[in-house]
Amino acid sequence: MRKLPPLNAIRAFEAVARRLSFADAGDELGVTATAISHQIRHLEAYLGFQLIERRPRQIALTPAGQELFPKLQMAFDTLGEAFAMLDKDVEQSLARVTATYAFAERWLVPRLTGFFEQHPDIRVEVETDDAILDLRADRLDLAIRYGPHTAATEHAEVLFSDRFIPLRLASQPEADLQESRLLGFRWRNADMGGPVWEDWFKAAGEPFPAERMTRFSDESSAFNALDRGLGLLLSSSALADEGLQSGRYQQVPGPELHGFAFYLVRNPLSRNKQGVRVFTDWIREAAKES
C-alpha cells in the first residue's frame, strides 16, 4: 500500500508552486491564503524538509520544491486526463477556448460560422478575458495569446503575425491626418512596447498631433469608437481584416508598423479530446488566410 502525505496538502503545494502565490492558490481551491499556508507547513513537517521559501513580498520554491513540483504536476495532469475520459460527451465534442475581447470579437467570431458549418457536432465555449488565464485551473483547452515571436514553446505555436495600420471608416470623408482625431488604447503589457500613434507619425516623418489623441483602456473600446466614426485607429491588421474585406474600413495611406504574433496555446490535459483536435486543425487553417 502506498504511503502518501495528506492529499489536500499535496494539492495546495501544487497550486502554490504553479502560481507562486498563497492568495491565488487559495482562490483556485476555494480556501483562504492562511489555510493554504497551513497546508504547506503541514506537508513540510510530514516530509521533514522545506518546500517553499517565504520572502517578505514573494515566495519561491526551494531546490526540493523545484524537484517535486514537475513530478506532482505530471501526476495531476494524468489524473485530470483519466477523469476527463469518463465524461465522453465533453471528451468528444467540446472545445473551451479563451481569447481577448478584441480577438474574439474581431477575428474569431466572424469565422466561427464557417467552423460550425464544417463541424456541426462540435461545441465551442469562448471565454473572453484580457488577462492570461490558467488553462489547467480554469478548465480551458486552448488559448489564443499575443506576444513576441520568442514566446513559442512546446505547447504554444505561432498562428500568424500581424502589422499595425491606420484605419478609418469607409463612410467617413477623408481628412488631413493633422486635423483628424486619433484613437488609441492602453497596452496591457507595457513591457512589450507595442506600436502606438507616436511611432507611426515618426515613421511617416510628420509631427505627432498629441492634442488630437483619445485613448481608451482597452482595444475593444477603441474599435467601438472607430465604428462610431470618432476618429482614426492604429490597429492590428489581423483584427481589421474582416472590416477591410467587407469594405467597412479603409486603410489610411502611410507606413505600416511591425506587430507581434498570435499564438495557440494548448492545455496538455486536452490533447486527446476530439473536439479540441478538430478545433485546433480548423484554426490552423483559418490562420493561414490571415
Give per-residue pLDDT as tens, 6-18: 788 888 899 899 9
Task: Report whether pLDDT(219) > 80.
Answer: yes
Mean pLDDT confidence for 138-147: 92
Mean pLDDT confidence for 76-83: 73
Nine cell digits for residue 94: 467540446
- Residue with the bigger pLDDT between 198 and 84: it is 198
Give per-residue pLDDT as tens, 237-285: 999 999 999 999 999 999 999 999 999 999 988 888 899 999 999 999 9
Task: Report whether pLDDT(87) > 60.
Answer: no
Give per-residue pLDDT as tens, 166-193: 999 999 888 888 889 999 999 877 777 7
Question: Looking at residue 74, what is its pLDDT?
Answer: 83
Task: Report whether pLDDT(54) > 80.
Answer: yes
- Residue with the bigger pLDDT between 238 and 132: it is 238
* pLDDT band for position 90 (cuts 50, 70, 90): low
Question: Looking at residue 153, what is its pLDDT?
Answer: 74
CB neighbours of residue 123 within 10 Å:
16
**Strands 249-251 and 182-185, bridge-based pairing:** unpaired
Average pLDDT, the chain: 89
Mean pLDDT confidence for 80-92: 61
Cα 68 from chain centroid (whole Å): 28
Would you say 276 and 141 are in contact if contact means Cβ atoms under 8 Å apart? yes
Nine cell digits for residue 194: 507595442
Task: Report whether pLDDT(98) > 90.
Answer: yes
Cell 502606438 -> residue: 196
Give per-residue pLDDT as tens, 108-122: 999 999 999 999 999
Would you say 180 and 201 are in contact if contact means Cβ atoms under 8 Å apart? no
Task: Report whether pLDDT(82) > 80.
Answer: no
Question: Looking at residue 27, what is its pLDDT?
Answer: 85
Question: Looking at residue 7, what is its pLDDT?
Answer: 83
Percent of the chain scored above 70 by pLDDT? Answer: 94
Question: Looking at residue 191, what is its pLDDT?
Answer: 74
Question: Looking at residue 85, what is its pLDDT?
Answer: 58
Mean pLDDT confidence for 32-41: 88
Question: Looking at residue 181, what is its pLDDT?
Answer: 95
Task: Report whether pLDDT(1) > 70.
Answer: no
